[in-house]
Amino acid sequence: MPWPVLKLRPVLKLKYQLVLVMTILVLTPMLSSALVVSNLVRNQNENNARQRISDVANKLAYSLTTLETEYLTKVKAFATTEEVVYSTYVLFQYGDVFSDRTKLNIVQPLRNSLLFYKASLEADTIDLIDAKGRMLASVGPGDDIETLKDLEEKSGKDIFRIPSGLPLKAPFTMPREAGVRFQTQGTNLLLIAEAPITHKARTVGAVIFRKSFDGNFATEMARTTGTDLAFFTAGKYVMGTLPPFTIPAGILADARNKSGLITTQLRIDNNPYNLAVYPLQRDRPRSPMIVVGISNVDTIQNTRQTVRAIFLVAFLGIIISTIFTYIWAGNVTEPINMLVKSTKKVAAGKLDEQIETGRRDELGELATQFNMMTRSLKQNTDELSYLKELNQNIVESIAVGLLVIDSSARVLATNAALERRFNLRKDSLIGKDVSSLFGPDEDARFKDILLEIARAPGHREINDVSRKIGDEVQIYNIEASPLRDRFGKISGKIILIDDVTERAQLVEQLIRSEKLASVGKLAAGLAHEINNPLGTIINYVQTLLLDEDDAEAREYLRSVETETRRISQIVRDLLNFARQSPPHYDAVDIHNVLDESLRLVEYQHLPETITIIRKYCDSPLTALGDANQLKQAFLNLAINAFQAMQNGGTLVVTTSLSEDDEDHRKVCHIAFSDTGTGIADEHLRYIFDPFFTTKEVGQGTGLGLFVTFGIVQAHGGTINVNTRVGHGTTFTITLPVIQ
């Protein structure tokens, strides 16, 4: 790959660019060298301090180890001397039966031996104890050789209560082997050496040496090593030449758990120190910790002076470079700032922004290209805004519900028709799962079908899908097609939800109207042909009844007469329906017509087990219609309700006033609600067909609802039914009212 070529134009300002480049080339190694040298000096000083403190700590550790070894050797030697072993054994074994004089004779030489060892070791106290935990002899600070009489006076009557430099702690644990340990006592460091006394492999007692080190010990050690010392136990300061301070628990834990010294840096009384921390005895978890410290004040001052000198030189270089940089920046940053400000304006939507620099170098060319870009961007943005607005208007104007989802069934877009149909807001749908379309009372079957179509692959289309919302049943055609991205890959679906309820109702009404017309033609053509033979049959039956004496034969003839008259009545009803004249429209008070109809029912058909409840609205309801025909329709609905409540029940007649959503006209609703047996789903679509009945033979003609439907339709109204098997049925007639 060839090296890039730096193309320079003959413009004076470019010199400053070269000056800046040269300044950077000089400044970068200068600063880098200054940083490297300062770090080397700092690290070297810190390493020297750590090495010194490590050497001192190792010397201290060696001195203390030598002291431990000396004490351990002496205590072992004392515990194995024949005099000590034999005397301790005798007092342990027979001390309870000896007289006080005998005990003192044995104890006195032992105590003198203890005094000798105390003087040679410069120990503070030496205790001799038998295996029963009794103090046999003890010497402490200020004790000297005493006579038997002196011992007798000090001991009182119990020879085993001779005063000791340090009282015996109970319960006492007899040491199994010789050992030495450090521990703290108040503000002093205490060295304890102990060894068991054995006689013929049997432990009969123990000897304990104690040596206390106070603050003078720490001061002398610090003076000798030229450092500061401090002793800690259980994380607390005990004594030393360092002022009291606290060591972090993590450092103490590392010092106890890791081999070797642990070095760290802390500020003590606002002075920095290098510290070395280690336990006096690593094999003892509760052993005191020793801290060796060296102040870093001098080291830090020397380091700072060196670093200052290094950075002073670098600072002078920076000043010189800054002068050249400032001269160049004044020429370069002005057009750049103009470009930045214009870019922000463009980002804020002001696409007509233009830059005038008057330059002929690269920045001037950049400004020219920027102006061309903003003009092109404004043109493209205007076109996109127009197309977006056009597409949005098209989508919102579509009367069919539109739902766009992605491959995960999340909603991407909707239109106004869908939002109105599902009573939802667009901002509550976008980005959510398609199931968020449905409320808690949604028709389960409709919901399952729509979700299945949304998640099924490929093109799907399902027509005449019913959706039950309260008492209303809506009909939809649902079609789903794949949505593809710009690469042709399926990225979601477009779902069209078309409300065809009104269309289905019109088709159903058309079918019923055709049935009405067919029945009318049938009745007009056949009524006379059927009535004439029926009249002849009735006349012959009546003649036979006059001459027949046999009771059984007369009963049969009466049955023939009854059924023949029933056939004749059906034919007359059909004939009346076929010859029915157009309604005589007049202003009709719906409440009055209802009351007249219900009174007729109460007088003629109302069983005692049935109750009628009227719930009329307060507003007067006046419709344009034929009072007699409306009364016939109301009678048919009431009689149907009574026949559905054979075991008794309640008929509630309710009226209300509302506004039609589509025509914006006032309509009244007359509802007949019974508590009867209800209508099965398989019968519901046939209830308005002529001659359809679920009653037993002889109980009905199947024309009541058929005639009622024709009357309501002739008055420009509708009739709907809502039923539930075992819970009752509600027929609702909707009629336009006069304002």
Q: Mind listing the pLDDT tens digit for each residue in 333-370?
A: 667 777 777 777 777 777 677 777 667 777 777 777 77
Mean pLDDT of the chain: 77
* Total count of domains within the chain: 4
Q: What is the CATH number for 569?
A: 1.10.287.130
Same domain, 454 and 525: no
Is residue 383 domain-resident?
no
**Of 720, 709, 711, 721, which Cα lies nearest the Cα of 588?**
711
Q: pLDDT of 436-483, one tens digit each?
A: 777 666 777 777 777 777 777 778 887 777 777 766 777 888 888 888
Highest mean pLDDT among 161-175, 572-586, 718-732: 718-732
Residue 11 binned pLDDT confidence (cut-offs 50, 70, 90): very low
What CATH number is associated with residue 225? 3.30.450.20
What tens digit of pLDDT does each residue of 203-241 get? 889 999 888 888 888 888 888 878 888 888 887 888 888
Do 516 and 591 lie in a common domain?
no
If asked whether residues 408 and 454 sit together in one domain, one would say: yes
Residue 616 pLDDT more than 90?
yes
Domain that holds residue 483: 398-499
Domain end residue (candidates: 483, 499, 515): 499
Q: 104 with 145, same domain?
A: yes
Task: Examine the domain organization and report whether 128 and 108 are in the same domain.
Answer: yes
Q: Quickly state the pLDDT bin for 613 (edges 50, 70, 90).
A: very high
* Domain-embedded: residue 407: yes
| DSSP code string of 330-342 | HHHHHHHHHHHHH
- pLDDT surpassing 60 at residue 23: yes
Q: What is the 3-state secondary structure (H, E, C) of 77-138?
A: HHHCCHHHHHHHHHHHHHCCCCCHHHHHHHHHHHHHHHHHHHHHHCCCEEEEEECCCCEEEE
Domain presence at residue 285: yes
| Statement to judge: residues 152 and 245 lie in one domain | yes
C-alpha 403/C-alpha 433 separation (Å) is 12
Task: Say yes or no: 489 and 508 in one domain.
Answer: no
- Average pLDDT on 524-551 reads 75
How many CB atoms sit inside 10 A of residue 160's CB?
18
**DSSP β-ladder status, 289-295 and 271-279:** antiparallel
Model pLDDT for residues 104-143, shown as the tens digit of each residue: 788 888 888 888 878 877 788 888 888 888 888 888 887 7
More confident site: 270 or 572: 270
Instruction: Report the Cα–Cα distance between both ends of the chain, in Å, rounded.
Output: 92
Confidence of residue 735 (pLDDT cuts 50, 70, 90): very high
pLDDT at 165: 34
What's the pLDDT tens digit per position in 397-412? 777 878 788 888 888 7
Cα-Cα-Cα-Cα dihedral sign, residues 103, 109, 113, 114: positive
In a domain, 377, yes or no: no
List phi, psi (to 5°) of 598: -70, -35
Does any domain span residue 350?
no
**Do 486 and 412 lie in a common domain?**
yes
Spatial CA neighbour of 735 closest among 642, 638, 636, 656: 656
Give me the mean pLDDT over the 617-641 stretch: 88
Q: What is the pLDDT of residue 1?
A: 45
Q: In what order do the strands lie in the sheet with 649-659?
A: 610-615, 649-659, 666-674, 728-736, 718-724
- In three-state secondary structure terms, 594 is helix
Distance CA 410, CA 436 (A): 9
Look at residue 48 and tell me if it is in a domain.
no
Residue 669: the pLDDT is 95
- pLDDT of 164 over the 60 cut: no
Check if the beta carbon of residue 478 is closer than 8 Å to that of residue 453: yes
Among 473, 499, 525, residue at a domain's last position: 499
Q: 76 and 178 in contact (C-beta within 8 Å)?
A: yes
* Pair 422, 486 in one domain: yes
Does a structural domain hold residue 38? no
- Would 463 be classed as within a structural domain? yes
φ and ψ at residue 197, rounded to 5 degrees? -105, 120
The CATH number covering residue 707 comes to: 3.30.565.10
Q: Let me know whether 260 and 168 are in one domain.
A: yes
pLDDT band at 262 (very low <50, low <70, confident <90, very high): confident
Nearest of 613, 604, 570, 611 to residue 704 by alpha carbon: 570
The strand pairing partners of 126, in sequence order, are 139, 209
Mean pLDDT of 415-434: 75
Please say which residue of 235, 268, 298 terminates a domain. 298
- Together in a domain, 428 and 562: no
For residues 448 and 522, membership in a common domain is answered with: no
